[in-house]
Amino acid sequence: MKFIVKYRTAISKWFAVIILALLLISTHSWPEDSPLDLSLEYGGLLFIVIGAFGRVWTYAYICGRKTDELVVIGPYSITRNPLYLFSLILALGFGLASENILIFPLILLLFGLVYPATIIAEEKELAVRHGESFLRYQQTVPRLLPRSLTLVQPDRYTIHLDQFGRVFVDSIAFVGLFIVIKIIEELHHAGILPSLFLLP
């Protein structure tokens, strides 16, 4: 577990390289603009948009507070790990948009390998730092999947713009990756990129 947490960024990068390689050398066998093709494409885009904007929403609450405060409002009032939840939604969106049956399980494998260990490690640290406050929070709010969508929202909230601006740009860039996936797909259909194998 410690190895995974320590090297999670490197592991994620290696998975990204494998996924990019699969996109460059393979494509799907079903017709372009078929119902299946459009469902995967637009379903993936919907997940990507939800995931990207969910990450922006989450960072608005956590930027500048992650190490000092226990944030329990906004998205943190329905799940203890909203950033990882929206990252999962985002990744599933890319899995759908890729229209590649090898990439989707690779993404699930990456999340199953990295995120549970990371969440457990972070929660142990939060328990040490915040003591009883975190233990009470842990008992009332689920770890990942919300049981209720009833939000605890403040009337006013201060956002640390110096950190939030960078995070906002990073999250919106994920939507741009959808365009990259579609460009690669079109290059395959045009015969510019070789399709070494077709996936069912």
DSSP 127-167: HHHHTHHHHHHHHHS-SSS-S----B--S-----HHHHHHH
Q: Provide the 10 A C-beta neighbour count for residue 110.
A: 19
CA distance 152 to 19: 38
Q: Is residue 195 classed exposed, middle or buried when 0-12, 13-18 and 19+ CB atoms within 10 A define those classes?
A: middle
The pTM of the full predicted model, rounded to 2 decimals, is 0.88
Domain borders along the chain are: 34-199
Domain 34-199, second-level architecture: Up-down Bundle (1.20)
From CA 194, how far away is CA 128, in angstroms rounded?
Answer: 53
Tokens found for residue 157: 């909230």
Per-residue tens of pLDDT for the chain, all 200 residues: 677 777 778 888 888 889 888 888 888 877 787 888 889 999 999 999 999 999 999 988 988 777 678 999 999 999 999 999 999 999 999 999 988 888 888 888 888 888 899 999 999 999 999 999 999 999 999 999 998 888 998 888 888 777 777 777 877 788 888 998 989 988 988 889 888 867 65
